[in-house]
Structure 1
Amino acid sequence: MLLYKLWRSFIKEILLLKRDIGGIVIIFVMPLLLIVTITLIQDSTFKNLEGSKIPIIFIDNDKSEVSKNIKGELENSKTFQLLTNFNEKSAQDAVFAGDYQMAIVIPENLTKDLNSNIDSKVQAIVSSFGLEGDSAKTKIEAPKAKEIHLYFDPATNAGFKNSVMNSVNKMVFEIENKKIYKAFQDQLGTTENLDENKNLISFKEITPKKGEMDIMPNSVQHNVPAWTLFAIFFIVVPLSINLVKEKSQGTNVRARISPTPYFVHILGKTFTYLIICIIQFLLMVAVGVFLFPYMDLPAFDVSGKMFQLITVTLFAGLAAIGFGVLLGTIADTQEQSAPFGATSVVVLAAIGGIWVPVFLMPEFMQTVAKFSPMNWGLNAYYDIILRNSGIGGIAKELAFLFLFYLATVAISIFYERKQNAV
């Protein structure tokens, strides 16, 4: 008998949705448009990590060994494309006008002054030990330090600036290091062959692999789970509206006086919208797997991960349904539930890492993000897609999502009983 009542409640929800064309558009069409649009926009940003080069201005006033080494390092990098048809004034104007991200200006006599500075310091060190090389017959006066000028577009973020300055500092340090070795060889008259190009300590990035291929994050791996979550939580809007309609049309009164418990009414909505969440997820995955490759975007790889991904979808759906039930129970009119539901979903998405990665947020907002159910769902998706975790690895996030559902439904039932107590 209970199953029959649950079935009838399910049928009722389906009929309500069929009459709400706008709600169906919100639930299914809008997320598909969002995932395609946002992924196309963001793909170029992710491709910067895969070989797309940023044009920058490079002005070489030294035209000697050091500047050629710096230019060679920049040209061999996978980040920059060098433009050289500028002088310092025109480069400054172009960068400050926002035409280019940055300009690098190498000063005159950089190589000559660097060699003189190193020779002077090495000669002083050798002399302090009482060792005089053949080349240390006259004292060399150290010239003033040279400055490499870096111009940045005022709109350039601090992270890019720091990255470029660190790269230039590293190149200059390596050049100085090689020249110091050479200067000591000259001062001491040694003929030992020092391997100038070999660092004693180096870095090697270890990345996850699939077979022989490195697994590199891309825009699709972020946007498919992120916008799936956004779509799932946007069911809050039609769900809360339907609950408000039931109150205004007296349907909830019939539900209260019927022998069917109120929690069965809630379970009927839960099962209905869980099915919708699964359909949303499958549509998003279909776009990622089949449509994106035709749009010159990476395909979304779900091989061996579908069970885990569907599990996360179910628990994220429960959290969204619980929130929608709570909002629809508390709201008195559609004018309250619709705008508040839409706004709250956008806020949860913003603080949950859907729009901006959590690690880029201020420390306070990173703490706030830990309380967003969207962040729990997104972390669970990331663990599966990027870190190859199983169900055990995402158990904490699943538990949080389920407890969120239980808490919101419990509050809804308590509020409903209190409001209708005689």
Structure 2
Amino acid sequence: MLLYKLWRSFIKEVLLLKRDIGGIVIIFVMPLLLIITITLIQDSTFKNLEGSKIPIVFVDNDQSEVSKSIKQELERSKSFELLTNFNESAAQKAVFSGDYQMAIVIPEHLTKDINSNIDSKVQAIVSSFGLETDSAKVKKEIPKSKEIHLYFDPATNIGFKNNVMNSINKMVFEIENKKIYKAFQDQLGTTEDLSKNKSLIGFKEITPKKGKTDVLPNSVQHNVPAWALFAIFFIVVPLSINLVKEKSQGTSVRARISPTPYFIHILGKTFTYLIICVIQFLLMVAVGIYLFPYMDLPQFDVTGKMFQMIVVTIFAGLAAIGFGVLLGTVADTQEQSAPFGATSVVVLAAIGGIWVPVFLMPEFMQTIAGFSPMNWGLNAYYDIILRNSGIAGIAKEIIFLFLFYVAMVGISLFYERKQNAV
């Protein structure tokens, strides 16, 4: 009997949704447009940055070995287009006015002073070992350290500044090392070219593999689950509106006085909207698998992961439905539920890492993100897609999502009973 009542409640919700075909279309079409548009923008931006060169001003006042080495390294990186028809004053003006992102100014006599500095220090070291040479007997004044001037547009991203400065520091360090090796070679009279020795320590990134192919994250692996979550939580808006309509039309009063328990009414809504959430997710996945490759985007790989992802979708859907039920129960008018529901979903998406990765947020915002159900769902999707986790690996997030649903529905039932207590 209870199952029959639940079935009738489900049929009632389906009939209500059929009256708002436009709203249903928006629920399914809007997320698809979002995922396609945003993925295209992100992927195109990545490709443009990868394939284009950033124009920077390069002023060479040294015109010698070191400055030429720096220039060659910058050109070899294929990231910069060097503009050389500037002096330092003009370069500073052009960069600070926003015409170019940065300028590099090499000081005069850089190569000569570096050579003198290194020779003096090497001679002093060799002399301390009792291997004094004729050239070491001549005391030379050690020149002061030289500074390469870097000018950045005030609007330049701090990350770009740090990357450029680290790259230039690395270039100068390698050039100095080679010159130091060469100076020791000359002083000691060895025939071995020490400057050509390879670094004793290197770096090698170890990435997950699928067969013999490296598994590397891409824009699709973020956008499909992220915007699927956004779509799932956006059902808060129509769900809360329907609950408000029921109150204004007297449907909720009839539901309370009927022999069917009120929680059956809520369960009927839960099952109805849960089906919508799963359909939304499957449409998103279908776009990632079948449409994206035709748009020159990476294909969304769900091999061996579909079951786990649907489990996450079901529990994320429960969390969204619970939130919608609470909002619809508390709100008195559609003017309250609709804007608040839409705004709250956007806020949850923002702090949950849908738009900006959580690790890029300030520390206090990262703490807040840990309380967002969207963040729990997104982490669970990441664990499955990028870390190959099974159900056990995402158990914590699933439990959090389910407890969120229980808490939201529990508060809603308590509020409803209190409001209608006689």
Give the corresponding residue for 2:418: 418
Q: Where do residues 13-412 of structure 1 align in structure 2 (5 Å cutoff)? A: 13-47=13-47, 53-77=53-77, 79-194=79-194, 196-412=196-412
Query: Which letter does structure 2 place at the counterpart of 1:398?
Result: I
For the 8 Å contact 1:42–1:219, the answer to whether it is kept is yes
Post-superposition CA distance 1:263-303 (Å, at most 9, x none): 11111111111111111111111222222222222222222
Q: Secondary structure at the match of 1:146?
A: coil
Quick check: 1:48–1:79 contact (8 Å CA) kept in 2?
no
- Give 1:303's aligned amino acid: T
Q: How far 1:192 sits from its partner (Å)? A: 3.7
Q: Distance in 2 between matches of 1:57 and 1:251?
A: 71
With over 3 angstroms needed to count, the CA separation of the structure-2 counterparts of 1:29 and 1:13, relative to structure 1, is same
Output the CA distance in 2 between the equivalents of 1:71 and 1:209. Answer: 37
The two structures have a TM-score, normalised by structure 2, of 0.94
Percent of paired sites with the same residue = 87
Partner SS for 2:104: strand
Q: Distance in 1 between matches of 2:288 and 2:93?
A: 43
Contact 2:185 2:193 in 1 (8 A): no
Are the structure 2 counterparts of residues 118 and 195 from structure 1 closer, same or farther at C-alpha, using a change threshold of 3 Å?
A: closer
Q: State the 1:51 CA deviation.
A: 5.4
Alpha carbons of structure 1 residues 289 and 416: separation in structure 2 relative to 1, 3 Å = same
Q: Distance in 2 between matches of 1:142 and 1:248?
A: 88
Work out whether residues 46 and 218 of structure 1, in 8 Å CA contact, stay in contact via their aligned partners in 2.
no
Assess, with a 3 A threshold, how the Cα gap between structure 1 residues 35 and 331 changes in structure 2: closer, same or farther. Answer: same
CA deviation after TM superposition for structure 1 residue 58, in Å: 3.0
Distance in 1 between the 2:197 and 2:53 partners? 26
Whole-angstrom distance in 1 between the partners of 2:358 and 2:48: 20
Once the two structures are TM-superposed, the CA of residue 22 in structure 1 deviates from its matched residue by: 4.2
The range that moved more, 62-71 or 367-376, is 62-71
Q: Conserved in 2, the CA contact under 8 Å of 1:96 and 1:152? A: yes
Q: Is residue 12 from structure 1 mapped to residue 20 from structure 2 by the alignment?
A: no
Q: Deviations over 1:157-199 (max 9, x none)?
A: 2122111111111111111112112112222223344263411
Shift of residue 45, structure 1, vs aligned partner = 4.0
Return the letter of the residue paired with 1:107: P
Counterparts of 1:224 and 1:98 in 2: how far apart (Å)? Answer: 37
Most deviating of 48-57 and 256-265? 48-57
AA aligned opposite 2:37: T
1:302 & 1:82 partners in 2: Cα distance? Answer: 44
TM-score (ref. length: structure 1): 0.94
Count of residue pairs the alignment pairs up = 422
What is the deviation of 1:90? 4.0
- Measured in 1, the distance between the counterparts of 2:253 and 2:298 equals 52
Aligned partners of 2:31 and 2:231 also within 8 Å: yes
Q: Is the 8 A contact 1:134 1:187 kept in 2?
A: no
Query: Structure 1's 103 and 294: CA in aligned 2 closer, same or farther, altered over 3 A?
Result: farther
In structure 1, give the amino acid aligned to 2:318.
Answer: L
Partner SS for 2:71? helix
- CA–CA separation in structure 2 for the residues paired with 1:78 and 1:316: 44
Cα–Cα, structure 1 residues 79 and 210, in superposed 2: closer, same or farther, change >3 Å? Answer: farther
Consecutive unaligned residues of structure 2, counting only runs of 5 or more, are none
Deviation at 1:412, TM superposition (A): 0.8
> Alpha carbons of 1:81 and 1:10: their partners in 2 closer, same or farther (altered >3 Å)?
farther
- Compared CA separation, residues 86 and 24, structure 1 to 2 (3 A): farther
Task: Output the CA distance in 2 between the equivalents of 1:167 and 1:351.
Answer: 33
Amino acid at match of 1:337: S
Q: Is the 8 A contact 2:124 2:136 kept in 1?
A: no
Offset at 1:386? 1.5
Distance 1:294 1:207 in 2: 27
> For 2:173, what is the secondary structure of its paired residue?
helix
Query: Equivalent residue of 2:136, what SS?
Result: coil
Whether the 8 Å contact between 1:56 and 1:103 is mirrored in structure 2 is: yes
State whether residues 134 and 188 of structure 1, in contact with CA within 8 Å, keep that contact through their aligned partners in structure 2. Answer: no
Q: Which has the higher mean CA deviation after the structures are superposed, 277-286 or 236-245? A: 277-286
CA distance in 2, matches of 1:79, 1:289: 32
Report how far residue 50 of structure 1 moved. 5.5
After superposing the two structures, state which structure 1 stretch, 149-158 or 309-318, moved more.
149-158
